[in-house]
């Protein structure tokens, strides 16, 4: 028997290779290259390669191709002739320096030759297994592709041997060929995965339930999925190329733009909640997600997922209110409700509410966070733990107990999450009184059954053919048919003409579309129609297959009545607002007019459109602005205000208005001011006229006294003065004294006219006749003063009832004042015409005019605009016109002239 080396040498073949062998090897290589390029499966190629190499070698040899896994282990890829038991015994092989020939070859990244397995340190305990199957030598070559190790090509020999240099190169070549085949298979799989990924992405993009937009880095739309219209309301072609920011409301625009820039510049997804403008003019609340479009490490664009959460926000508010109501209900519940969880093998109470806690003498702070053993005697706690454990195991249970003389029943309901019980809700009812009599127990049972089985909404279930399988009591009450006449039959409550709508809703349910709160009509048994809100949901079997659907139907008759009442109230408010003869308006907190009624145009000349959006300050006269602004500030502090102010008319005239400001309060906050402004200009003028009348009365009394006290002595003085003048040669001083005494006589006579009622002779007179008899009296003086008098009298004027002499006196005083105001000449125009049951006489001059501060005092006694005037002349005019039940108004502008408007009523025959 030879040595080990001799035995190995016997197994080594010669490096000399014949031409036929070379041709055979080349053909074998070509064959497998063709198989690889032809796209044969990797398994067929590797098994065929293994079999061909086994046939090529003249000695008994088995091939095994192993794949390297992500866990750094080697598993069998192809070993068609290696015993399966051997493979199962040694695989998977952990890659390492001493992990057998194959594990070491992959670890070292080079071929490893084990000419004798027995006793080799690489094999260890596995050598015995190899020997059991007749394997004495093993050669392993790492399979690589582009310097990446993909696996190992192993050759098991039944004799001790090592390869020649030619065999080494040959096996390395075929190992590379195996690597090429594996790499091709990996590439094909990757390409397939890429195509599938693209298809999945396109399917996800096109069928994603939320709108998706693609934005350029400038924020312009250039791509959409088919849900885009849900958010903006615009079609794709309407948005293409437009910037997205204008669709964001102004208050959110800056923050949204900042998130867009972060996604673009930092490549990090951004989320923001904002409001957008819809095409129909509404504002929707949406959740925007900006997703960077990363291409080879560079952001090329932005995906935007836009989810409409307007309804969610409404639901959140409703949910908040519901939670508040539920908390109120639970806390005031006559029984008690509590929850418990299991923590470290103990049942801990995590919540409690209800009035029963207090009656049981068990404060909540001593209950929540405690176990049964913390609050009850051990024996009682042991009894209840049994029920707690049953509920925690998913079994609904109940028990009765007595604490402090109060009997109650507790129902334990397990709550599941992902199929596991996460907590148990226990509802407890006080049954102390129920235990007293059987009748009380029966009533309570009926009440509980009613609470569990009845709701205010009608509920029905139907199979996939529309046959009713269940109805609740509310359904029977709503539609008027007994349950036995409904179950097993088709839906009978669909009115004529609504069948297509009904089946359309059913189709939506079966297609996965949510049908919630759909408003329509349903038919009662008496054929009458009622408005309802319908919610449909699919019914599924255990396998998730839809086999029917449910309907929750709510009678919204009262809701519709309320909506109609609200609309009617709205119309009443609008009538009160728009048809109010006074000025009605609303202001925001900055004093900007937000609404105003049409009366504004009649009262101050502006249209509502001209006022809305402007500050109220623009329409207040300067001298009234300070106190008006103070009143507004108090109003927005919640204090109603009433005050007077002066508004500026569009023609620059002023008007006095009595204003009432009331704060507008919405949800407990002041958001603006309502105001009502009543024009009291005429009232103010009447008050002023009354004040002047009181003054005139006082002056009249004074005049009577003065006239009697002065007139007699004045007659004596005048007589003696004439006598002395006749005796004197120096007449100048006497003439001056005579003129002054005559002036005193004139004033005294005017006093008498003012103080003493004059004998009046009223009769029906033509105004044209009065003027024709009066004008000649003043024409001569007018011509001497270079003044023209123009008469414009409307034809066919009715007569007036007057004292002609007094009316002439009025005209004489007015025209005298006009002539005195035009020392350089000019024109005086008389315009006589009808005006609302009166004859209107307008006398206009081109004189020097009267300053505004003096114009206010015109008509007061002893107040005159002339140097030597007494002020009694105009006072007499005012008094005479008043006695004739007429009116007089004086308007004047400095350097432009004065206008006196006199109105006298028509004569009415009795």
What is the band of 269 on the pLDDT scale with cuts at 50, 70, 90?
very high
Say yes or no to pLDDT of 872 above 80: no
Q: Do the domains 457-561 and 208-313 match in fold?
A: yes
Contact 337, 330 (CB under 8 A): yes
Residue 298 C-beta-side C-alpha neighbours within 13 Å? 3
Reported for 146-149, long-range contacts at CB under 8 A and 24+ positions apart, including other chains, are 146/183, 149/68, 149/106, 149/109
3.40.640.10, 3.30.450.40, 3.40.50.150, 3.90.1640.10: CATH of 4-191 = 3.30.450.40
Weakest-pLDDT range from 359-363, 463-467, 487-491, 725-729: 725-729
Q: Where are the domains of the chain?
A: 4-191, 208-313, 332-452, 457-561, 580-679, 685-754, 760-905
pLDDT reported for residue 826 = 92
Query: What ranges make up the beta strands (E) of 27-79?
Result: 61-68, 73-78
Torsion 775-778-784-785 (CA) sign:
negative
Q: Is the pTM of this model over 0.85?
A: no
pLDDT reported for residue 904 = 92
Please tell me which residue, 758 or 883, carries the higher pLDDT value.
883
Instruction: Kindly calculate the radius of gyration of the chain based on its CA atoms and give it in whole angstroms.
Output: 56
pLDDT reported for residue 720 = 73
What is the distance between the alpha carbons of residues 625 and 644, in angstroms, rounded to a whole number?
11
What is the distance between the alpha carbons of residues 366 and 348, in angstroms, rounded to a whole number?
12
Q: Which of 211, 214, 219, 225 is nearest to 278 (CA)?
A: 211
Contact 339, 350 (CB under 8 A): yes
Cα-flanking dihedrals φ and ψ of residue 18, to 5°?
Answer: -80, 165
**Topology of domain 457-561, CATH:** Beta-Lactamase (3.30.450)
Please tell me which residue, 2 or 397, carries the higher pLDDT value.
397
Mean pLDDT value of segment 711-718: 72
Please tell me which residue, 901 or 694, carries the higher pLDDT value.
901
Contact 747, 872 (CB under 8 A): yes
Mean pLDDT value of segment 480-495: 88
Mean pLDDT value of segment 683-711: 64
Question: What is the share, in percent, of the chain residues with pLDDT greater than 70?
Answer: 87
Contact 605, 626 (CB under 8 A): no
What is the band of 313 on the pLDDT scale with cuts at 50, 70, 90?
confident
| CATH of the domain spanning 685-754 | 1.10.287
pLDDT reported for residue 290 = 94
Contact 475, 524 (CB under 8 A): no
The single-letter DSSP state of residue 617 is G
Cβ neighbours of residue 824 under 8 Å, at least 6 residues apart? 786
pLDDT reported for residue 850 = 86
pLDDT reported for residue 12 = 46
pLDDT reported for residue 686 = 65
Question: What is the share, in percent, of the chain residues with pLDDT greater than 90?
Answer: 20
Task: Please identify, in words, the CATH class of the domain defined by 580-679.
Answer: alpha beta
Domain 332-452 falls under CATH 3.30.450.20: yes
What is the band of 21 on the pLDDT scale with cuts at 50, 70, 90?
low
The single-letter DSSP state of residue 511 is T
Q: Take residue 127 and report the two structure tokens written for it.
A: 């050598």
pLDDT reported for residue 293 = 87
Contact 805, 819 (CB under 8 A): no
pLDDT reported for residue 2 = 40
pLDDT reported for residue 450 = 62
Say yes or no to pLDDT of 711 above 70: no
Say yes or no to pLDDT of 359 above 80: yes
Query: What ranges make up the beta strands (E) of 96-228?
Result: 112-114, 137-145, 148-157, 212-215, 221-224
What is the band of 898 on the pLDDT scale with cuts at 50, 70, 90?
very high
What confidence tens digit (pLDDT) does each residue in 3-17 have? 334 444 444 444 555
Say yes or no to pLDDT of 329 above 50: yes
Contact 619, 648 (CB under 8 A): yes
Weakest-pLDDT range from 170-179, 367-376, 389-398, 489-498: 170-179
Cβ neighbours of residue 51 under 8 Å, at least 6 residues apart? 63, 80, 81
What confidence tens digit (pLDDT) does each residue in 120-153 have? 888 888 888 888 888 999 999 998 887 788 899 9
Contact 3, 9 (CB under 8 A): no
Q: Take residue 797 and report the two structure tokens written for it.
A: 């004027």
pLDDT reported for residue 760 = 66
Domain 760-905 falls under CATH 3.30.565.10: yes
Say yes or no to pLDDT of 451 above 50: no
Contact 474, 483 (CB under 8 A): no
339 sits in the region (left: phi over 0; alpha: psi -120 to 50; else beta) called: beta
Q: Which of 163-172, 451-460, 537-546, 588-597 has the highest mean pLDDT?
A: 588-597
pLDDT reported for residue 205 = 74
Mean pLDDT value of segment 660-671: 91
pLDDT reported for residue 759 = 55
What confidence tens digit (pLDDT) does each residue in 798-843 have? 999 888 888 888 888 888 888 888 988 999 999 999 988 899 999 9
Contact 905, 800 (CB under 8 A): yes
Say yes or no to pLDDT of 751 above 60: no
pLDDT reported for residue 425 = 92
Say yes or no to pLDDT of 593 above 50: yes
Weakest-pLDDT range from 629-633, 793-797, 868-872: 868-872
pLDDT reported for residue 448 = 45
The single-letter DSSP state of residue 495 is P
517 sits in the region (left: phi over 0; alpha: psi -120 to 50; else beta) called: left
pLDDT reported for residue 594 = 92
Mean pLDDT value of segment 347-353: 90
pLDDT reported for residue 903 = 93
**Topology of domain 208-313, CATH:** Beta-Lactamase (3.30.450)
Say yes or no to pLDDT of 20 above 90: no
| Geometric angle at alpha carbon 730, from 724 and 732, rounded to 5° | 95
């Amino acid at each position: 028997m030879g040595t080990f080396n001799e035995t190995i040498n016997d197994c080594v073949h010669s490096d000399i290779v014949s031409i036929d062998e070379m041709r055979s090897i080349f053909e074998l290589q070509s064959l497998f290259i063709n198989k690889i390029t032809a796209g044969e499966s990797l398994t067929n190629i590797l098994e065929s390669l293994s079999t061909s190499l086994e046939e090529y070698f003249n000695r008994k040899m088995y091939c095994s191709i192993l794949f390297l896994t992500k866990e750094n282990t080697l598993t069998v890829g192809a070993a068609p002739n290696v015993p399966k038991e051997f493979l199962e015994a040694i695989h998977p092989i952990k890659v390492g320096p001493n992990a057998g020939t194959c594990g070491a070859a992959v670890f070292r990244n080079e071929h490893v030759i084990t000419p004798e397995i027995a006793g080799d340190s690489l094999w260890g305990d596995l050598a015995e297994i190899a020997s059991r199957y007749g394997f004495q030598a093993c050669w392993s070559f790492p399979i690589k592709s582009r310097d990446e190790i993909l696996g190992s090509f192993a050759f098991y020999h039944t004799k001790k041997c090592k390869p020649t240099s030619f065999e080494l190169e040959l096996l390395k070549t075929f190992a590379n060929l195996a690597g090429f085949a594996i790499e091709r298979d990996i590439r094909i799989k990757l390409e397939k995965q890429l195509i599938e990924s693209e298809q999945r992405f396109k399917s996800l993009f096109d069928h994603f339930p939320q709108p998706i937009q693609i934005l350029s880095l400038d924020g312009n739309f250039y791509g959409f999925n088919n849900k885009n219209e849900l958010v903006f309301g615009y079609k794709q072609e309407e948005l293409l190329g437009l910037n997205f920011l204008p669709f964001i409301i102004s208050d959110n625009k800056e923050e949204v733009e900042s998130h867009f820039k972060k996604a673009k510049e930092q490549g990090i997804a951004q989320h923001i909640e904002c409001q957008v403008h819809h095409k129909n003019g509404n504002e929707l609340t949406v959740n925007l997600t900006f997703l960077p479009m990363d291409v080879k490490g560079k952001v090329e664009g932005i995906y935007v997922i836009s989810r409409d959460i307007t309804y969610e926000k409404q639901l959140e508010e409703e949910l908040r209110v519901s939670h508040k109501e539920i908390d109120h209900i639970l806390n005031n519940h006559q029984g008690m409700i509590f929850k418990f969880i299991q923590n470290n093998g103990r049942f801990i109470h995590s919540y409690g509410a209800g009035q029963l806690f207090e009656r049981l003498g068990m404060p909540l702070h001593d209950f929540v966070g405690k176990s049964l053993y913390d609050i009850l005697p051990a024996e009682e706690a042991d009894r209840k733990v049994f029920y707690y454990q049953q509920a925690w195991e998913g079994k609904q249970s109940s028990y009765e107990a007595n604490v402090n003389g109060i009997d109650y029943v507790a129902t334990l309901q397990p709550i599941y999450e992902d199929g596991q019980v996460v907590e148990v809700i226990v509802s407890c009812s006080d049954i102390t009184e129920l235990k007293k009599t059987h009748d009380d127990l029966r009533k309570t049972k009926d009440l509980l059954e009613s609470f569990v089985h009845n709701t205010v909404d009608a509920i029905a279930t139907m199979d996939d053919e529309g046959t009713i399988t269940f109805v609740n009591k509310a359904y029977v009450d709503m539609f008027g048919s007994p349950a036995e006449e409904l179950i097993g039959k088709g839906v009978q409550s669909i009115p004529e003409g609504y069948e297509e709508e009904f089946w359309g809703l059913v189709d939506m349910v079966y297609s996965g579309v949510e049908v919630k709160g759909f408003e329509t009509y349903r038919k009662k048994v008496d054929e009458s129609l009622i408005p309802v809100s319908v919610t449909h949901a699919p019914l599924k079997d255990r396998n998730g297959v839809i086999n029917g659907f449910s309907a929750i139907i709510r009678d919204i008759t009262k809701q519709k009545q309320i909506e109609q009442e609200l609309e009617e109230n709205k119309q009443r408010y609008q009538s009160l607002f728009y048809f109010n003869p006074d000025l009605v308006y609303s202001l925001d907190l900055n004093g900007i007019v937000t609404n105003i009624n049409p009366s504004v145009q009649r009262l101050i000349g502006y249209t509502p459109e001209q006022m809305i959006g402007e500050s109220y300050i623009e329409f207040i006269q300067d001298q009234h602005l300070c106190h008006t602004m103070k009143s507004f500030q108090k109003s927005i502090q919640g204090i109603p205000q009433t005050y007077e102010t002066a508004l500026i008319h569009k023609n620059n005239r002023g008007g006095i208005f009595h204003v009432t400001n009331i704060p507008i309060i919405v949800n407990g906050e002041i958001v603006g001011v309502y105001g009502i402004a009543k024009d009291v200009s005429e009232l103010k003028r009447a008050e002023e006229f009354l004040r002047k009348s009181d003054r005139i009365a006082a002056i009249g009394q004074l005049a009577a006294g003065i006239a009697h006290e002065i007139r007699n002595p004045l007659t004596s003085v005048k007589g003696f003065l004439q006598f002395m003048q006749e005796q004197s040669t120096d007449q100048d001083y006497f003439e001056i004294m005579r003129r002054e005494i005559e002036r005193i006589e004139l004033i005294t006579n005017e006093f008498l006219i003012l103080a003493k009622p004059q004998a009046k002779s009223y009769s029906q007179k033509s105004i044209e006749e009065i003027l024709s008899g009066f004008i000649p009296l003043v024409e001569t003086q007018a011509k001497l003063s270079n003044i023209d008098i123009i008469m414009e009298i409307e034809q066919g004027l009715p007569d007036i009832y007057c004292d002609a002499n007094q009316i002439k006196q009025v005209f004489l005083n007015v025209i005298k004042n006009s002539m005195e105001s035009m020392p350089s000449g000019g024109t005086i125009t008389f315009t006589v015409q009808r005006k609302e049951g009166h004859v209107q006489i307008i006398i206009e001059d081109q004189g020097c005019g009267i300053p505004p501060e003096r114009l206010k005092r015109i008509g007061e006694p002893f107040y005159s605009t002339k140097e030597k005037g007494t002020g009694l002349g105009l006072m007499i005019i005012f008094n005479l016109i008043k006695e004739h039940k007429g009116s007089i108004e004086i308007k004047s502008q400095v350097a432009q002239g004065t206008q006196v408007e006199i109105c006298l009523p028509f004569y009415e025959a009795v």
